[in-house]
Amino acid sequence: MASDGIGTRAAALARRPQEARLRQLHATILSCRSCELAGFLTHAAPVLPAPTVARMMLVGQAPGRVEEGAGRPFSGRAGRQLFRWLEAAGLGEEEAVRRAVYITSITKCFPGPASSGSGDRRPGPAEAELCRGHLDSQLALLQPWLILAVGQMALERFLGRLSMDLAVGRVFGSDGAELAAVEALEAGRRRLVLPLPHPSGASRWLNVPAHRALLERALELLGRLQESSAIA
């Protein structure tokens, strides 16, 4: 038991410099006004998670209006659905997931409502490019072994123009190549990408029964990956 305690304290001490760098990175991102200056937003208000060092990262599209007000990723209705999925996969309840998974997005500010009046506006390529350096810095600092790419924008960021139908229910290496389940489980700490659909009610993708089956397969695979990482 004593050796376990020493190991836990050593791990905590080793994380402190990384946590300090993460706080500095957050301060940089929170001060960013690039999209505001470029005319994409009337007011930039980046939304970030607590600066907790985690080796699993979830990347969504962009914060919504609720997230902008709360200053916390996935704190609205879509977030509640997402956390139900992750709990079903065995990652625990919401607060446990927030401690174990670094939750961020392709762009960091609420982009405004969609012109159709349904859901939020999807950030354009120029906005994603202005924010790209922030996500690159988060990835470089945290070095996640597993990236949960939530929604089409995140899917395209990590795997290119692959359709959701061909991505969900599968796991991919950092080179974009699909891995068999056994390969993924044996991949150790090599970076993996596991796509998930966006949990927003505005999305109609999950209205198709075959797509819901793909989601179930993805969550089962996520649970197996999480279990294998805990054992390793």
Which structure tokens are listed for 101? 């998974």
pLDDT tens digits for 32-70? 999 999 999 999 999 999 999 999 999 999 999 999 999
Domain limits of the chain? 2-231
**Rounded CA gap, 170 and 218, in Å?**
6
If one counts every other C-beta atom within 10 angstroms of the C-beta of residue 208, the result is 11
The structural architecture, per CATH, of the domain 2-231 is 3-Layer(aba) Sandwich (3.40)
Would you give per-residue pLDDT tens digits along the chain (232 residues)? Answer: 445 555 555 455 556 799 999 999 999 999 999 999 999 999 999 999 999 999 999 999 999 999 999 999 999 999 999 999 999 999 999 999 999 999 999 999 999 988 877 778 999 999 999 999 999 999 999 999 999 999 999 999 999 999 999 999 999 998 888 988 777 777 655 789 999 999 987 778 999 999 999 999 999 999 999 988 764 4
Question: Tokens 């959701």 label which residue?
Answer: 164
The candidate with the shortest Cα–Cα distance to 198, out of 100, 122, 116, is 122
